[in-house]
A = this chain, B = another copy of it.
Amino acid sequence: MDLDLSRDAAALTADLVDVPSVSGDEQALADAIAGALAGLPHLTTRRDGNAVVARTDLGRPQRVILAGHLDTVPLAGNLPSHTEGGMLYGCGSCDMKSGVAVQLRLAHQLAGPSRDVTYVFYDCEEVEAERNGLLRLSRNAPELLRGDLAVLLEPTGCMIEGGCQGTMRAEVTARGARAHSARYWRGRNAIHGAGDIIDVLRSYQPREPEVDGLVYHEGLNAVGIAGGVASNVIPDECVVTVNFRFAPDRTVEQAAEHVRALFSGFDVQITDAAPGARPGLTDRAAAALLAAVGGTPRAKLGWTDVARFAVAGLPAVNYGPGDPELAHSAGEHVQLAQIAECEAKLLAWLTA
């Protein structure tokens, strides 16, 4: 199919929504986008699987990345799209084909932006990390992800959400000794011992540090617990799975050290970790973005793909049309006015 990038962003969003692109099945949409961008002489386009990267190369002193994912969660009887009362309904309308439409509109219009721009469209954001197209790009062509600031056009209700917190999963194990439960004193109950792990969690005082002008909110929580051998056996092992959400002023290593110190009497295995991302709002490129967008930026507490840019040293923010609470719902929709607002503000930023 052919995409007409000269249509307004709301109409373009509807066109994108009507090309189904559930994770793993993005090829038709990636082909359409690559085809449309190939017709723009001011851009150089690269393809990597179902990811598409288009760049200006004007020798500007700064380069910004505008990124968005093409995939959606599975359909829920919510295609084709329809417009009603100033809203566009349909799978992906909010998360995040309206953001992708804004990217495409900017790519179409900005033959000579004030900053060099890299437009990144990628696949498989809604599924397990190993399939993530942005992760694959960062391995296959890291040079394409270089720049001074990244903007991920995920739905934020047209608010700047800066950086993101890191996340870490650890298994904290209490050990004991098995015995028959009728003679429990011959053993040592590991579940009772795990009470000490829970005590640490219950009394934990999380930090709320300010990083680059935004306030984060850490958290340390049990997200799983398992123990038990049989109903007549004193258990010799109880594993508490702990999730630590940490502000972007800690590295993964520092976060791990903190968790190990908290549970120093126990066996601690870090089973998963993803770094946070500083918002970088005090940097020059981000400050100009903030000025163009207005409003009060807030810290992103959940982990998002902005952290993949942070690994490469780029500060990154989320900024896009759509209410994030509506993402993944069957009634998913987006205000048409927010699509237009987002396009206008980014256009103003990139032409100032």
Binding site for B on A (CB under 8 A): 165, 167, 169, 180-185, 189, 191-192, 194-195, 198-199, 201-202, 217, 219, 221-235, 238, 240-241, 243, 245, 272, 301-303
Contact = CB atoms under 8 A, between A and B. Distances in A.
A238 B202 CA distance: 15
Given A183-B301, A245-B182, A235 B224 contact: yes
Contact of A222 (B199, B227, B230, B240): B227
22 contacts: A165-B182, A167-B182, A180-B302, A181-B219, A181-B245, A182-B301, A183-B301, A183-B302, A184-B221, A184-B245, A191-B223, A191-B224, A191-B240, A192-B198, A192-B202, A192-B222, A194-B225, A222-B235, A223-B229, A224-B235, A231-B241, A231-B272
B195 A221 contact: no
Contact of A192 (B180, B221, B229, B234): B221
Nearest to A169: B231
Q: List the number of copies, as a whole number.
A: 2
A53 to B, nearest CB: 29
A223 B230 contact: yes
A298 to B, nearest CB: 12
Contacts of A192: 198, 201-202, 221-222
Rank and list the top 9 A-B pairs by shortest CB-CB distance, nearest first: A224-B228, A195-B198, A191-B222, A182-B302, A182-B301, A184-B219, A225-B227, A181-B243, A191-B225
Contacts of A185: 217, 219
A192 B204 CA distance: 11
A272 B230 CA distance: 13
Contacts of A228: 222-226, 241
Given A224-B227, A231-B241, A194 B198 contact: yes
Contacts of A194: 198, 225
A233 B223 contact: yes
